[in-house]
Amino acid sequence: MNFNIVSLPGDGIGPEVSAAVPVILRKIGELFGHEFQLNEHLIGGAAIDSCGQALPSETLQACKNADAVFLAAIGGPKWDDGDIRPEQGLLKLRSELEVFANIRPLTVYETLKPFSPLKPEILEGTDFIVVRELTGGIYFGKKNREANFASDECRYSINEVQRIARVGFELAKQRNRKLTSVDKANVLESSKLWREVVTRIGEQEYPEVELHHQLVDSCAMKLIQTPSEFDVVLTENMFGDILSDEASVLAGSMGLLASSSVGSRYGLFEPIHGSAPDIAGQGIANPYATILSIAMMLRWLKLSTEADSLEQAVSASIENGVLTVDLKPYSQVTTQQVIQTVADNLTKIVGSIDSSRSARNQPLVKPVEQSPQVACAGEA
């Protein structure tokens, strides 16, 4: 099959980890007989530097024309004080693509338990998914700044809560039928609405799913105290942002957590981490979150066998101790070495390349243009 994929490397470690995209897609293409046409575009600080816009219209259009979009990370201190911030590009992209459901699975690998600050017995059985609402809430509400005050409005409509609640309930139905909805209904009006709507959807449409409501502050505590009690965690935009970063500590590193952001039409796949300016340019960033995001992309493209194989290749690399320094103190393993090891493991897992297919095919991934060719005609 043929697929048109857009990759947005962004800023900081973004270009380093997104080097995995052509390598992994080429390998998947070779092994399974697909053709991935891959194009890079600018977003975030890189786009501001190049055209003064965080999301150039060409980037947005390319994303809308693609079968799937990968985004690595945006932002950094260089753009912190500017009028246009890199984050505006990402928020606008999510909003334009209407990818309202951000799905963040948390897997704790056996080998990595010693690297977690939590005791192994607390981590035992931990396996949950955070479902974060992505296009509403305080990040998208009205902002105001005057001489002596600033405000950010948190708004949710019934429709926005209903559609994300259904995503959470559907996932819970496929798993252990347990949904924890996280809010701050003892204080916030938007959370009261959230709780009412989630309760109603649960009673009317998903009676087989056990629904719990949890205040966000106590949820933050329980994620560390008793993480194995969670199955699907459903929450609004900002709470989900914070809780999933907290949850990454259970796994061992920010560099391990992948995510998919989906709506009715588009799919955007991103590691949960940011641009990590503190380690950018050193070649030591952990690319597993990126590779696992590619696996989520493959599954969304209905390439389940390919996605399973890629996840197995990642597990094999981790179990073999191919770990960057965020996971293993004093490790000298580079980003590139991890990427190559996963690609090699894929070959071993899937088997040798079908000789007739390799003879027939031209390179299965068209080379990515090294410096993205983006004209800056106007902001998207």
Residues identified as active-site: 139, 184, 217, 241, 245
* 97 touching ligand NAD, by CB under 6 A: no
Site string for ligand NAD, 124-163 (x = CB under 6 A): ----------------------------------------
In this structure, are residues 219 and 185 in contact, taking their beta carbons and an 8 Å threshold? no
Closest approach of ligand NAD to the CB of residue 185, in Å: 27
Minimum CB separation of residue 254 from ligand NAD in Å reads 4
Examine residue 59 and tell whether it contacts ligand NAD (CB under 6 A): no
Based on the shown chain and the rule CB under 6 A, indicate whether residue 73 belongs to the binding site for ligand NAD.
yes
Q: How far is the CB of 139 from ligand NAD (least distance, A)?
A: 12
| Cβ distance to ligand NAD smaller for residue 209 or 256 | 256
CB of 165 to ligand NAD, least distance (A): 24
Residue 326 engages ligand NAD in binding (rule: CB under 6 A): yes
Does position 89 bind ligand NAD by CB under 6 A? Answer: no
The correct pick among 74, 164, 234, 268 for binding ligand NAD (CB under 6 A) is 74
Kindly state whether residue 273 participates in binding ligand NAD, applying the rule CB under 6 A. Answer: yes
CA dist., res. 287 & res. 271, Å (int): 9
CA separation, residue 304 to residues 248, 295, 366 (Å): 25, 9, 23
Q: How far is the CB of 72 from ligand NAD (least distance, A)?
A: 7
75 part of the interface to ligand NAD, by CB under 6 A: yes
Structural contact between residues 55 and 379, judged by C-beta atoms closer than 8 angstroms: yes
Enumerate residues 289-318 that contact ligand NAD by CB under 6 A. Answer: 289
Q: Which stretch binds ligand NAD (CB under 6 A): 95-103, 274-282, 294-302, 339-347?
A: 274-282
Does 275 help bind ligand NAD (rule: CB under 6 A)? yes
Which range, of 103-111, 123-131, 223-231, 247-255, touches ligand NAD by CB under 6 A? 247-255
**Span of 92-100, 146-154, 177-185, 249-257 interacting with ligand NAD by CB under 6 A:** 249-257
Choose one: 129-137, 155-163, 267-275, 361-369; the region binding ligand NAD (CB under 6 A).
267-275
Chain residues in the site for ligand NAD (CB under 6 A): 13, 17, 73-76, 87, 90, 253-255, 270, 273-279, 285-286, 289, 326
